[in-house]
Amino acid sequence: MRSSTILQTGLVAALPFAVQAASGSGKSTRYWDCCKPSCSWSGKASVNRPVLACDANNNPLSDANVKSGCDGGSAYTCANNSPWAVNDQLAYGFAATKLSGGTESSWCCACYALTFTSGPVAGKTLVVQSTSTGGDLGSNHFDLNMPGGGVGLFDGCTRQFGGLPGAQYGGISSRSQCDSFPAALKPGCQWRFDWFQNADNPEFTFKQVQCPSELTSRTGCKRNDDGNFPVFTPPSGGGSNPSTPTSPPSSGGGSGCTADKYAQCGGSGWSGCTNCPSGSTCKAINDYYHQCV
């Protein structure tokens, strides 16, 4: 499966005054096609800004009109849209989404807490932000972003990286294959076999929640109605990412914990890790996003 690279549309209509949180049971698939997320185009929803897309070297693009790499352009999914574990029971990530009774204007940049009900991840919770949709998605369907999950219908990874290992649908079959991935995608690939335990399209229940800052800081996108939804409460035994400091943000990797390479390390409003691993520095991409490169 994949998210479609839907072209820019006109401004969406205003959302209804009464906003109801979406919930229900859903199904999952997995993909990483490298294409520009559909919610990266302007005018898709009532948001502060579209989802950040990146160039081929994972530098965020300030222009939302750059054509997708899947359509011959130079905009791709940012590597930091990969999933990551908070603890054994909680993880954060991103997904292409299609929900019954909604439209892309109601999904783009919305966040959902998925509690898995089948497979080796049963009982675990993954909180995702919707960054795309796709014509090949079914009802209440979340296509989870994970490097090595297969490109699906469209392949921007050949243009960006010269290709990625694995089958078109389903992707790779072992953790060791992650070693051949670009450095920026390895952590997300390994997550699939570590926290996600190589689960094969597990089912889940879901509910819409306010977006955690850990997600919106990566995409740059927050819905204008986000405050109408319930605050996410971590499951029993869960909690905030223990690596997130409470000290003021830094633009140059000063005090605080160490971010992963290619992860965010600073910017206006950033309260996460500000140090970068050995061999990389915290580079200001724009006022809101600084990245370990």
Rounded CA-CA distance 21/40 in Å is 23
Computed from CA positions of residues 88, 186, 3, 77, in that sequence, does the dihedral angle turn out positive or negative? positive
Question: What are the angstrom distances between the C-alpha of 166 and each of 33, 189, 191, 212, 240?
Answer: 12, 12, 16, 32, 33
| 212: Cα within 13 Å, side-chain hemisphere | 22
Q: Whose structure tokens read 């994972």?
A: 58
* Global confidence as pTM: 0.79
Could you tell me how far CA 52 lies from the centroid of its own chain?
A: 10
Check if the beta carbon of residue 166 is closer than 8 Å to that of residue 152: no
Rounded CA-CA distance 173/165 in Å is 10
Rounded CA-CA distance 208/24 in Å is 10
State residue 257's pLDDT score: 86
- Could you say which residues of the chain have pLDDT below 50? 1-18, 238-255
Quick one: which of 220, 277, 217, 279 has its CA closest to 84? 217
State residue 135's pLDDT score: 79
Instruction: State which H helix or E strand residue 85 sits in.
Output: strand 84-85
How many residues belong to the chain? 293
State residue 198's pLDDT score: 97
State residue 271's pLDDT score: 72
Strand partners, 125: 90, 115
Check if the beta carbon of residue 83 is closer than 8 Å to that of residue 145: yes
Instruction: State which H helix or E strand residue 126 sits in.
Output: strand 125-132
Instruction: State which H helix or E strand residue 141 sits in.
Output: strand 141-145
State residue 246's pLDDT score: 28
Which tokens in the block code for residue 93?
């990530």
| 225: Cα within 13 Å, side-chain hemisphere | 17
Rounded CA-CA distance 73/265 in Å is 28
Mean confidence (pLDDT) of the chain? 86
168-190 pLDDT tens trace: 999 999 999 999 999 999 999 99
Rounded CA-CA distance 55/249 in Å is 25
Instruction: State which H helix or E strand residue 142 sits in.
Output: strand 141-145
Residues serving a catalytic function are 33
